[in-house]
């Protein structure tokens, strides 16, 4: 199955957490958390359209400045989603610089602050010297962004402060069955992208396609489309180890192909983990197992384990692989 998106950690697990998602076949990328992003290529940074920030502790948000500087001359807006205080934090960052020479610059930042039941929207536009404009609010039902073929959901978690966990879901995945294509005498080509697009938006079966100078309806072409479950990736950073949080994370990550989860402390430092509002590696393993995820990637390790860098992953995997 050709994936629709690729995801990877930008840094090593002792550095700032940040996952880069490249949407294949589209010049577009997402970031989950905005720690230090200096390892990303300038070309990759230019493609970032949406950023999902779990909370604004410095290790999750320090990359904002690099992103801002790189995108100042970009026409495509940047959307930043985060907990309720993200709007104030962006405003504070922007107020930290002087913006008298950018009125010709195109960049528009759309910021969305998410609470239990509400999403607040503010805009910061270069043409307006990045002064905050409040643009209203909408009810929040768990869906942060829905844009065919994706849906991004968030769970409101606690980390002493409000913190979000995210999941990126592809509604369904369409593979072209090459054997059927050959059987029908149809060529591969750009028309297939259009064909997939029409299926994704639920186009009518009468929709017509011209292939090799012949007219086909969507209905006639349906046999070449093999529709399967879409990709799912979840991202959970700093979270308190209470059962309510853990339950919400399991629900969010349910059946993910990949879960990125923090494993800041080892179970032997459980007391410290509770005090500092972080998960242990063992808890990350339990979450992944109970959520039935296919692959667990642990990240965000405390520097105290630099001497035993494999220990957090080993502990998480041992718990994850336990069968009840
Ligand atoms: Zn934190
Ligand atoms: Zn952190």
List pLDDT tens digits, range 25-35: 788 999 999 99
- The pLDDT assigned to 222 comes to 87
CB under 8 Å to 296, separation ≥6 — which residues? Answer: 258, 259, 261, 284, 285, 288, 316, 317, 320
Residue 299 CA, ligand 1 centroid: distance in Å: 13
Q: What is the pLDDT of residue 190?
A: 84
Residue with tokens 């060529």: 187
Identify the burial level of 249 via C-beta atoms within 10 angstroms of its C-beta, where 0-12 means exposed, 13-18 middle and 19 or more buried. buried
Q: Which two tokens stand for residue 153?
A: 């959901």
157-185 per-position pLDDT tens digit: 999 999 999 999 998 888 888 888 888 88
**Nearest ligand, CA 57:** 1
Query: 155 C-alpha vs ligand 1 centroid, how far in Å?
Result: 16
CA of 17 to the centre of ligand 1 (A): 10
For residue 84, name the pLDDT band (cuts at 50, 70, 90). Answer: very high
Task: Give the residue-averaged pLDDT of 145-167.
Answer: 95
Q: What is the mean pLDDT of residues 177-206?
A: 86
237, 17 contact by CB (below 8 A): yes
pLDDT at 273 (0 to 100)? 97
Q: Which ligand is nearest to the CA of 33?
A: 2
Q: Alpha-carbon Rg of the chain, whole angstroms? A: 22
Q: How confident is the model at residue 148 (pLDDT cuts 50, 70, 90)?
A: confident
Query: What integer best gives the mean pLDDT of the chain?
Result: 94
Distances (CA, A) of 238 to 208, 229, 263, 268, 313: 49, 29, 9, 18, 16
Measured in Å, residue 168 CA sits from the centre of ligand 1 at: 21
The pLDDT of 118-137, averaged and rounded, is 97
Query: What are the extents of the domains in the chain?
Result: 5-170+231-320, 173-229
Arithmetic mean of pLDDT, 104-131: 97
Q: Please determine, for residue 323, whether its predicted confidence score (pLDDT) is greater than 80.
A: no
**Cα 238 to ligand 1 centre (Å):** 5
Which pLDDT value is given to residue 209? 87
Is the backbone of residue 9 left (phi > 0), alpha (psi -120 to 50) or beta? beta
CATH fold for the domain made of 5-170+231-320: Metallo-beta-lactamase; Chain A (3.60.15)
> Above 90 in pLDDT, residue 192?
no
58 has pLDDT over 80:
yes
The confidence band for 324, taking pLDDT boundaries of 50, 70 and 90, is: low
Ligand 2 center–CA 46 separation, angstroms: 25
| Cα 279 to ligand 1 centroid, rounded to whole Å | 11
What DSSP element (H or E) covers 316? helix 311-320
């Amino acid at each position: 199955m050709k994936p629709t998106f690729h995801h990877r950690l930008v840094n090593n697990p002792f550095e700032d957490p940040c996952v880069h998602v490249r949407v294949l076949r589209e010049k577009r990328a997402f970031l989950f958390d905005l720690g230090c992003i200096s390892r990303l290529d300038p070309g990759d940074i230019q493609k970032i359209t949406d950023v999902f920030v779990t909370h604004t502790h410095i290790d999750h948000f320090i990359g904002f400045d690099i992103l801002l500087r790189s995108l100042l001359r970009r026409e495509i807006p940047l959307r930043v989603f985060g907990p309720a205080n993200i709007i104030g934090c962006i405003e504070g960052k922007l107020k930290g610089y002087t913006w008298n020479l950018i009125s010709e610059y195109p960049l528009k930042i759309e910021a969305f602050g998410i609470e239990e039941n509400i999403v607040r929207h503010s805009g910061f536009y270069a043409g307006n010297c990045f002064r905050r404009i409040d643009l209203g609010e909408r009810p929040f039902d768990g869906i942060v962004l829905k844009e065919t073929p994706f849906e991004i959901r968030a769970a409101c978690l606690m980390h002493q402060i409000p913190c979000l966990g995210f999941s990126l879901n592809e509604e369904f995945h369409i593979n072209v069955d090459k054997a059927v294509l050959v059987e029908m005498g149809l060529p591969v080509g750009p028309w297939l992208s259009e064909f997939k697009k029409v299926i994704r938006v639920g186009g009518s079966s009468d929709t017509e396609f011209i292939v090799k100078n012949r007219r086909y309806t969507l209905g006639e072409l349906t046999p070449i489309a093999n529709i399967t479950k879409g990709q799912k990736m979840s991202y959970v950073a700093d979270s308190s180890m209470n059962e309510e949080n853990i339950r919400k994370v399991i629900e969010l990550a349910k059946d993910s192909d990949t879960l990125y989860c923090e494993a800041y402390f080892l179970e032997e430092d459980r007391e410290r983990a509770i005090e500092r509002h972080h998960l242990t590696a063992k808890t990350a393993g339990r979450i992944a197992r109970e959520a039935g995820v296919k692959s667990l990637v642990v990240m965000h390790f405390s520097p105290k384990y630099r001497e035993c860098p494999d220990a957090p992953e080993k502990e998480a995997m041992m718990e994850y692989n336990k069968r009840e």
